[in-house]
Structures are given as C-alpha cells and as structure tokens.
Structure 1
Amino acid sequence: MTHLRVLVLENQRFQRSVLIKMLDNLGVRDVVQASDSEHALVQMQESGGVDIVLCDLADRSFDCLDFLRCAAQSGMVCAVALCSDLGPELRRSLGQMGSLSGLQLLGVIKPPVQIRTLSKILHRYAHRCIPPVFSPDDHPLPSEDEIRRGLALGEFRAWFQPKFALDTGELAGVEALARWEHPTKGVLLPADFLAAVLAYDLIDQMFKQLLEQGLSLLGILRRQEVQIELSFNLHASQLVSDELIGHIQSALGLHGFPGSTLTFELAENGLLDIPSRIQDNLLRLRLLGCGLSVDDFGMGFSSLRSLCQLPFNQLKLDGEIIRNVNEPRSQALIASTLALAQSLDMSLVIEGISSARIRDAITEMGCKLGQGFYLARPMAGYRLLPWITAQIASQQAPIN
C-alpha cells in the first residue's frame, strides 16, 4: 500500500497525528494533512491529488459534505473513509451507501480508531481496483495567478443548457454553466478549476462575470421578443456576505429585468446546518423575486424541516437517480420526490435525461420539467441564440 496517497483532514492536532502515525505503520508514507477544508483543497492541488480522504463527517468546524463534493468535482480524490462517532441509524444508513458526495465510500470507522480497522479500509480501496490518482506530474489544478489572468482576460464564459417542458417539448429556461475557454488547453469544465476558484476565494468574481454575460444575452433575446428564465449555480459560502445580493439586485436594475427572471441553484449538501446569515440572504433573493432551487436533490443529507423552513421553490432531482429508471428503487425515489415537491408547492426538474427511454418513463410518471444531453447539450451563447430561433420556428411551423 506504499503507493497510496492519503489526505488526513482533522482539526484536532492530536487526532491528526495519531492517524498519520497509524498510516505510517501500515506502510503509507505519502500523507497530506490539513486542519480545515480550504487548506485541504489547496494541499490536494499542490500535491497533485490524493487517493483517499480520511475525515470526520460529524466535525462541526466545517461542512464535510460540501468539501467532499468540491473534491469530487475537482477530480482530485477517488474515495473517502469516515472517522466519525455517529449514531447507529446514521452508521446503518451510511453502511448501505457505496458513494458519498460523488466519492467511493470505503466505510465508517468509529473512534478510537484501531489500526486493524484502518488497515481493512485501505485494503478495501485496493481490492476495488480503483485506479491510482495522479502524480504531481499529471494535471494539477491551475494556480491562483493563472485563474486571475483568465478572469482578467474574460476567459471564463457562461455556457447554457436548455430546460424543457417534457410533455410539449417547449423551452422552459436555460441554466448557465461555467466554462474556462483556455487559450492553450481548450474548453475546461468546472472539475478542472472550480476547487481552485473556491480555494483562492475568486468564486464571486467569476460569478459576477457569468451573471453579466447571462443578462446581456437575455437583453438580446428580449429585443427579439423572447423571454426565458435563466438559472445560475451558487455556492452556499457565497451567501455569507450581503455584498453579492446587492450586486445581483444592481445588475437586474441595470439591465431592466425583474428578479423573477433569475433562479439560483444551491447544492443540497451545502444546505446542511447553514448559518442564519445565509438563511437571511436566501430570503432576500426570494424577496427580489428570484427563484431558489435545491440542486442535486437526492444525493445529500437535507431534511424535510430544512425544505420547509428555507424559501426554496424548486427541486432538481440528480441524474444518478434516474439512470436506472425502470428499477423499482429508482421509481420509488422519483415518485416520492415528485409528491414531496407537489406537497411543498415546488416545481421539480429532472436532470441527466440521456435517452428517449428515460424521458418517456419520467414523463409517464408525471414529471413536467427536465434537462439532459438527450434533450440539448450545453452551448456557448453565440450558439444558443440561433438555436432558440430554430426552436421557436419549429414549434410555430404548421402541422401538415
């Protein structure tokens, strides 16, 4: 197991040193350590990625699920093992899960950690034949200077993926997705840069550029008498400060759009035990008229109480849940989520529609809105404009 690289994320220095010593005794010499999530992201970037993260899901000093989701999106880690003192019902639930926040879940170790148990976790990783992650010579995340240069030169662009009314095929809105149109590496996806943007605290700067691009595109469509809803992804940490809300309000006023033009999507994992400041700013967005959507619903640990208390008006069901749409478990999850959305007076958007079979199945179950590669792929703004024109023309064409 000497080839493994392990990140130990633990805010208690003594516990961290105990885990590092155990790993050393098990022959794992390549160990990265961090005391908080931001430091961990930077450490992983600098080391070129890790194979396994050891962390405590119950640690209240940071949002473990949000960190794991960012790590998974960055592609810097393959698997996670939890060193957590959890209640029996949570341990039982996690024991049935094969993944957590997009990462392979190797197991839960109850403190105090025993070296024999840790050894089993490491061997479980090896036996699952997960390919080793990266060496420092592979493709590390970009540096802060690279990202700042890209932002200064306008290389971060909004691409747009349409959403549809499933029963009619009509356009129901578009989602703005971040892309880095890199001068030498081509078009980069968020997995290539998002973790670094978060670690360097440049997420607001990137978002403001994408918002301006999106509202400018809506202005062009308005002159063509086309009105659509536009959604953006927000990280929960962006709502700690009031400044971003003021910027959104000013941008809407400058372009002459009502708040109802915009919907903001926040990942379900980021909504666990959010502070009151974030709750207040979610309410401010709704008071502006903006929509709020729970993204990746079904993949995290949100609660019914949170859904009732927070001012969201939309759920987006993660595409992983509909992949095997004909299986009873998937159908039960879809049906229950649809019933939940209806009972809370929320709309439901189905993500990840990749085939006609999936589209027809979820439409038959009563789902109204959806997006996915089968329906339309993300596209740059200059491609979206003629695409919308063609869509409108096809819908208005007479039927012979």
Structure 2
Amino acid sequence: MAHPRVLVLESQRFQRSVLVKMLDRLGLQEVRQASNAKQAMAQLHACGGVDVVLCDLADRSLDCLEFLRCARQAGLVQAVALCSELRPELRRALAQMRSLSGLQMLGVLSQPLQLRALRHLLHRSWRRRLPPVRLPVPRALPSEQEIHQGLALGEFRAWYQPKFMLGTGQLAGVEALVRWEHPTRGVLLPAQFLAAVLAYDLIDPMFKQLLEQGLNLLGMLRRQQIQLELAFNLHASQLLDDQLLLHIQQALLRHGFPGTTLLFELAENGLLDLSPRLQENLLRLRLLGCSLSIDDFGTGFSSLKLLCQLPFNQLKLDGAFVRHVDEPHSRAMVASTLALARSLDMSLVIEGIGTQRSHEGVLALGCEIGQGFYLARPMAGYRLLPWLEAHFASQRTQSDFS
C-alpha cells in the first residue's frame, strides 16, 4: 500500500526539521514543508494535494483552522494530525473529534515528539485507506492583472442558491455565491481564485459588484411582487473599514430597499480575534436592519460568551456535520447546535444537505431551515427567475390540494 503524502506546517524551523526527519525515517518519500499558511497553500497547489497535514494548532501565527478550511474547500487535503502542546481539556476535546475543519482527524501528538507515536498515528491513514485527492490539473493562482481584468469586464458573477423551510418546502431566502465566468477556463469556483482576490486586496471591489448584481435582481423580483432575503458572504477583515458599510447603506438607499432585505454571513474562524472596529461595524449592520449569520459554525472555537456579545441572529451549521447525520456524534452536534440557537433566540440554517437521508435526518431532529445540493444547486441569475416561477407555481399547486 502506498505511503501517505504529507505536508508539515510548522513555523518553528527546528521543530519542522525534526518532523521531516522523523517522516524520512518512517520511509515516507512525498513530504512537503512550509513555515506559514500562504507557503503551505502554494505547496499544495504545486504538488496537487496531500493526504495528511501535520500542524500545530496552538501556534497563533499560523491560523491553522483557516488554512485547513481553505485547503479542504479546495480539495487539497484529506486528513489532519496535530503536533501541539495543548491544555488537558482541549486535548481531551480534540481526541473525541472525528473531523476538524471538515477533514478527517487522525489525532494529537504530544511534545516531545516520539517516532513510535508518529508511526501509529499515520498508520491510521494507511489502514483507513483515505480516498485519493480528486483534483483538476493544478493551476497557478491567477495574477493580480488577471483579476483586475476580470473585474473590469464584469466576469465575477453572483450565482444564487435557495434556502428552504424544511418542513414545508417554502423558500426561506437566497444566498449569493461568487463565480468567475472566465472566458477561457469556464466557470471557476471560489477555491480557484478567492485566495488571490484576498491577497491582492481586491475583495471589496468584487463584493461591490456582486451586491449591485443582487440588488438589481431583487428590483426585477419586486416588480413581480416577489420579496426575498438575499445573503452575501463577507470576510471579517472587510468590516475593519467603515467605507464598505457606508457603501452598503448607500446601495440600499439607491435601490429603495430596507436593510432587512440583506443578510451577511461571516465565517466563524474570522471572528476569533475581534477588534473594537469590527464589533462596532457588526452592530451598525444590525442597526441598519441587516441580519448577521455565523457561517461554517462548528469548525472554529466560538465561545458562548462570544456568541452572547456579538449581534448575530443566525447560526449556519457546517455541512460536515450532516453528511453522517445518522451517526450519534453528528446527531449530537446538530441537536446541541439547534438547542444553542434557540436559547440565544437565533435561527439555525443547516448547510450541505446533499442527500434525502441527510434531509430526513435533520428534519427529524427539529431543524427548520436548510440548504444544499439535494434541495437546489447554485444557479446563475438568469436561471433563478424561471426557477422561482416554477417553485411558486408548485407551492400553489400543493396548497390547492392540501
């Protein structure tokens, strides 16, 4: 059986060299190393992905959770193993986790590292026969000039994925998702360009184009007497500048919509280090009437105190927890998150409903709102309009027979 391909992500040079030498002694031939997340992502793209990432979760300079989430979304990693000196309660909690940031969790190695423990931990990936990484031919991230050109030509487009009331099938809103409709490479997903957009500090121009597209679409729907809540994703760093919030307010005024029309989703991991400016601008969005959702909930380490302090009114449970909703651990996660949301007077949206089984499972647990490929796939704006007509016609037909 082939040995796993491994990436060592460690900021300390000595510790990184120790791990690499130990892996060499175990006979692993495909070992990559990186000292920071940006370098690690470049390594993954260059080699076409790895089976296992070894990293130090306790190293705050690395932001391992954000890196692992991005690597998982890009399909570049299958499993993660931690080499960290952690507090006993954190080690105990991590030992019970089957996944971390959507990746298979192999375990936690104690310091100082021992060759036998490393061999045993990696043996789990051999024994479980991790599925091969399925990737397109690796491509370099787009250049700054390419992204500027794409923005100038309007190639970044909002695609829309509906959310539903699970019990009735009624529409609960629509989320705007960015796609790059590239003239030669076809439709690109965020995993293929978003890291570059952030690196070149072009996330705000891209968001402003998507917001304008979304509000124009809502204007067309308003003329047909259709009202929808439209959700957009925001990176936490975007709210460190007051100018973006001012732009949102002016766009709503220009199109004649109240703030209640919009919902903004921020990834949980981006909320771990809160600045006063970020907290103030979150509050300003809520005062404007906009809803706020914590996206990918369950993949970071948000505390109950943090949830109580921030003006969010929705949790969005990461889809990793519903893929195996018939298993006790997953059911417990869904049920406890639902109880938490209700206790904080928040709504809960279940992401990643990809099968009939997961749909029935979360519905049986009492979940009310869901989103996923089983319910409806993302679609371009010109496809959303006829889809909505068909959906509302179907709802009226069902109502007539009920």
TM over 0.5: yes
Misfit runs of 4+, over 6 Å: none
Cα offset, 1:316, TM superposition = 1.6
Taking a change above 3 Å as real, the CA distance of residues 63 and 254 of structure 1, as seen in their structure-2 partners, is farther
Measured on the aligned residues, the alpha-carbon RMSD in Å equals 2.9
Cα offset, 1:67, TM superposition = 1.4
The equivalent residue for 2:11 is: 11
Identity of aligned residues (%): 69
User: CA separation in 2, counterparts of 1:334 and 1:132?
Assistant: 28
- Runs of 5+ in structure 1 lacking a partner? none
Taking a change above 3 Å as real, the CA distance of residues 43 and 284 of structure 1, as seen in their structure-2 partners, is farther
**Mapping for residues 339-358 of structure 1, pairs under 5 Å:** 339-356=339-356, 358=358
The equivalent residue for 1:381 is: 381
Deviates more, 1:231-240 or 1:1-10: 1-10
Cα offset, 1:355, TM superposition = 4.7
User: CA separation in 2, counterparts of 1:49 and 1:379?
Assistant: 28
Give per-residue Cα distances to partners, 1:286-308, cap 9 Å, x unaligned: 22221111122234322211111
User: CA separation in 2, counterparts of 1:105 and 1:364?
Assistant: 27
Cα offset, 1:31, TM superposition = 4.2
Q: Contact between 1:49 and 1:140, CA under 8 Å: does it hold in 2?
A: no
Taking a change above 3 Å as real, the CA distance of residues 181 and 279 of structure 1, as seen in their structure-2 partners, is same
In the comparison of the two structures, how many residue pairs are matched? 399
**Mapping for residues 210-225 of structure 1, pairs under 5 Å:** 210-225=210-225
Give per-residue Cα distances to partners, 1:173-229, cap 9 Å, x unaligned: 101112222333332333333344344443333322222211111121122222110
Give per-residue Cα distances to partners, 1:34-71, cap 9 Å, x unaligned: 33323332343344433332221111224221111011
User: CA separation in 1, counterparts of 2:338 and 2:134?
Assistant: 40
Taking a change above 3 Å as real, the CA distance of residues 354 and 76 of structure 1, as seen in their structure-2 partners, is closer
Q: Which amino acid aligns with 1:399?
A: D
Taking a change above 3 Å as real, the CA distance of residues 133 and 376 of structure 1, as seen in their structure-2 partners, is closer
Paired residue secondary structure (1:399): helix
Q: Contact between 1:141 and 1:193, CA under 8 Å: does it hold in 2?
A: no
Q: Which amino acid aligns with 2:52?
A: I
The equivalent residue for 1:208 is: 208
Give per-residue Cα distances to partners, 1:228-275, cap 9 Å, x unaligned: 100012233333433432332232233222222111112223333434
Q: Contact between 1:50 and 1:134, CA under 8 Å: does it hold in 2?
A: no
User: CA separation in 1, counterparts of 2:334 and 2:4?
Assistant: 38
Whether 1:140 and 2:139 are equivalent positions in the alignment is yes
Paired residue secondary structure (2:308): helix
The equivalent residue for 1:245 is: 245
The equivalent residue for 1:39 is: 39
Q: Which amino acid aligns with 2:257?
A: F
Deviates more, 1:56-65 or 1:278-287: 278-287
Q: Contact between 1:161 and 1:376, CA under 8 Å: does it hold in 2?
A: yes
The equivalent residue for 1:102 is: 102
The equivalent residue for 2:191 is: 191
User: CA separation in 2, counterparts of 1:347 and 1:176?
Assistant: 19
**Mapping for residues 25-36 of structure 1, pairs under 5 Å:** 25-28=25-28, 30-36=30-36
**Mapping for residues 311-390 of structure 1, pairs under 5 Å:** 311-356=311-356, 358-360=358-360, 362-390=362-390
Cα offset, 1:364, TM superposition = 4.9
Give per-residue Cα distances to partners, 1:4-56, cap 9 Å, x unaligned: 54333222233233333433444445544333323332343344433332221
Taking a change above 3 Å as real, the CA distance of residues 359 and 100 of structure 1, as seen in their structure-2 partners, is closer
User: CA separation in 2, counterparts of 1:83 and 1:44?
Assistant: 19
